[in-house]
Chain A
Amino acid sequence: MADASELYELKGLSKRYTRGKETVAIFDGLDMTISQGDFIAIMGPSGSGKTTLLNLLGGIDKPSSGEVLFEGQRIDNLSQGRLAKWRAKNAGFIFQFYNLMPTLTAAQNVELPLLLTNLSGKARKERVKTALDIVGMVDRAGHRPGQLSGGQQQRVAIARAIVADPKVLLADEPTGDLDRTTADEILQTLQLLNKELGKTIIMVTHDPEAASYAARELHLNKGRFEEKGKV
């Protein structure tokens, strides 16, 4: 861990869905803290609420009750507009299926989050180049997603996630669509971002090998966390 100060605090977090007349609780009264510089793998069986939790941490879903605090400020009660601004400033997202814009080049995809900043065109270009350099994709900057392999696309997606220098990276099955070798390369990149740049990473995964790259493993089961300690 690069920094031990608290980044997230979840207080009595509950998420319930209504299916017909039945109310289903995904989790109820969840408490948790995440420190700056953590690299956490969240594991658990299908339907355990891993992705729902990630959505709550990323400010794209709201809890049924409880609080989500980020750097001591509640984000669960922000309006949609303020949440969008919060995401742009604080969170980088990495998707299982990359979700790059097919009509844009790799560099343009990476530049997207910077359109929400006041940076000049020149400064944006420099940032994009740096981000692509970190993931080893500078030489593919002018390629469209369709011209890249899955692993290369995920690298571009990681560059997009880090380009605006967010405080936390939220990754949902980032290697779920990749072969083992490529998956390891991606996970090594994430590990590098955590160790060298101090990025807080919260990763949802089914894959124990992927989870092994994280500093902490949290198993979500029946609405409760079980933590497996790691060195």
Chain B
Amino acid sequence: MNDATLIRKNLFRKRLRAILLMVSILVAFLIFGVLGALQNAFSMGSGTAAQERLVTVNRINFTVALPYAYWGRIQQVEGVRNAAPASWFGGYYQEPQNFVQSFAVDPETYLAAYPTEIVLPPEERAAFLEGRTCAVVGRALANQYDWSTGDRIPLMSNIWQNTDGSQAWELDICGVFDDTEGTYPTNYLMLHYEYFNESLLFGRDSFHWITINTTDPALNDQVSQDIDALFANSSAETSTTTEAAFNEAFMEQFGNIGLILTWVIGAAFATILMIVGTTMVMAVNERTREIAVLKTLGFTAPRIFRMVLWESLLLSFIGGLIGLGLASLAAAAASGALAGFLPAFGLSLTNIVTALILMAALGIVTGILPAYNAMQVRISEALGKI
């Protein structure tokens, strides 16, 4: 037996109470973990945005198209090294619920815009550049639908109509791309803008955004201003921002995930703090006599303080680690189903470290008052008489 035995026995002396407290802590960390995983998925794009990349969209909204002619004019702006137009395709595979994030792009400029992020074998790259009906898919998406190079798939659009009257585009999968360090999303498909544009029943010769690589990140502000000035007072004014800002604005369509996360976790932890804190104070008050006996036997006040504090920390860590473990399992289980829409749905090292810090903080905050009270117990008062 040692102090740890005493701490454990005291924690579980009322098993139901201990379990209920742990469940409440568990729920808080489960929420923390799942929302953290969600935030990771939503913030993945902005995290990988290169400093020198800019994005030009319609000033009204990025869903409103820009004229095709803008591409050529933007390429002429000083400081622009590469300009890659792209359009939403709004794709799905076989059934509308099988969402496929897909863009119609100019292959050469789009691949040039992401020279290190998109990893495509040379032969597949060449095939994509040359084949009009070719498409390349990211590894996560290929795994989700079990696609591989050489497959021919009909990709449906819930936005566009083909000149043949259908909403389907027949595509040959010419390659599967990976990311360099597991930080760039591979949950989307790229098809030829030309093939897409020529077969459109309506809305031809337009695109939704242009990704721009500048010659130097220091020129970003100037290039942005020059591009937007170029189209000022036209029927389609532009708004040019960094890719990171564009991605964040895109994600904000779904709400401010960071703020929601903060509020939900804040509310959960404030509640848990009060419940656990009050219960710990009561639990230690119930043991005043036993604490007085320990002091009588020679246990010093600092040692008793540490024992009560460790009890609170143990409670917090058991509940917290189980909650975080369940969150991790839930994220792993959901990541497959959400791969097409939310890649990287999982807990990061930052989430885990933050959770461990929160567990320690919760344990200390809820344990410090009862530990102090225990330390202050006066033997003669607590026992009445020895």
Interface residues of A (CB under 8 A from B): 51, 54-55, 58, 60-61, 80-81, 84-89, 93, 95-96, 99, 101-104, 108, 111-113, 115-116, 124, 160, 170, 172-173
Among the interface residues A86, A101, A113, A172, which one has the most CB atoms of the partner chain B within 10 A? A101
CB contact under 8 A between A95 and B294, given known A84-B301, A115-B2, A116-B299:
no
User: Which listed residue (A96, A101, A113) contacts B290, Cβ 8 A?
Assistant: A101
Contact with A along B1-41 (1 / 0, CB 8 A): 11101100110110000000000000000000000000000
Contact present for B296 and A60 (CB under 8 Å): yes
User: Which listed residue (B1, B5, B289, B300) contacts A85, Cβ 8 A?
Assistant: B300
B interface SS class: helix
| CB neighbours of B9 from chain A (8 A) | 101, 103-104
Contact present for B298 and A60 (CB under 8 Å): no
In the complex, whether B295 has a CB less than 8 A from a CB of chain A is yes
User: Which listed residue (A81, A86, A115) contacts B1, Cβ 8 A?
Assistant: A115
Distance in Å: Cβ of A56 to nearest Cβ of chain B? 10
Of residues 102 through 117 on chain B, the ones whose CB sits less than 8 Å from some CB of chain A are none
Contact present for B383 and A116 (CB under 8 Å): no
Interface residues of B (CB under 8 A from A): 1-3, 5-6, 9-10, 12-13, 289-290, 293-302, 379-380, 383, 385-386
Contact present for B297 and A61 (CB under 8 Å): no
User: Which listed residue (A54, A87, A95, A104) contacts B298, Cβ 8 A?
Assistant: A87
Considering the complex, give the chain B residue whose CB is closest to the CB of A99. Answer: B293
Contact present for A102 and B13 (CB under 8 Å): yes
Among the interface residues B289, B300, B302, B385, which one has the most CB atoms of the partner chain A within 10 A? B385
A selection of 27 A-B contacts at a CB cut-off of 8 Å is A60-B295, A61-B380, A80-B300, A80-B301, A81-B300, A84-B300, A84-B301, A85-B300, A86-B298, A87-B296, A87-B297, A87-B298, A88-B297, A88-B298, A88-B299, A93-B297, A99-B293, A99-B383, A101-B6, A101-B9, A101-B293, A103-B9, A103-B10, A103-B12, A116-B297, A116-B299, A173-B385
Contact present for A103 and B13 (CB under 8 Å): yes
Tell me the total A-B contact number using a CB cutoff of 8 A.
Answer: 79
Distance in Å: Cβ of A224 to nearest Cβ of chain B? 21
CB contact under 8 A between A84 and B290, given known A51-B385, A108-B1:
no
CB contact under 8 A between A81 and B301, given known A103-B13, A112-B294:
yes
| CB neighbours of A51 from chain B (8 A) | 385-386
CB contact under 8 A between A116 and B10, given known A60-B379, A99-B293:
no
| CB neighbours of A81 from chain B (8 A) | 300-302
Contact present for B386 and A85 (CB under 8 Å): no
A27 to B129, CA, bound (A): 104
A84 to B295, CA, bound (A): 7
| CB neighbours of B294 from chain A (8 A) | 112
User: Which listed residue (A89, A93, A112, A116) contacts B386, Cβ 8 A?
Assistant: A93
A104 to B293, CA, bound (A): 14
A160 to B293, CA, bound (A): 12
Contact present for A60 and B386 (CB under 8 Å): yes
User: Which listed residue (B2, B297, B379, B380) contacts A113, Cβ 8 A?
Assistant: B297
A61 to B382, CA, bound (A): 12
Distance in Å: Cβ of A108 to nearest Cβ of chain B? 5
| CB neighbours of A80 from chain B (8 A) | 300-301
Distance in Å: Cβ of B61 to nearest Cβ of chain A? 65
A102 to B6, CA, bound (A): 11
Distance in Å: Cβ of B377 to nearest Cβ of chain A? 11
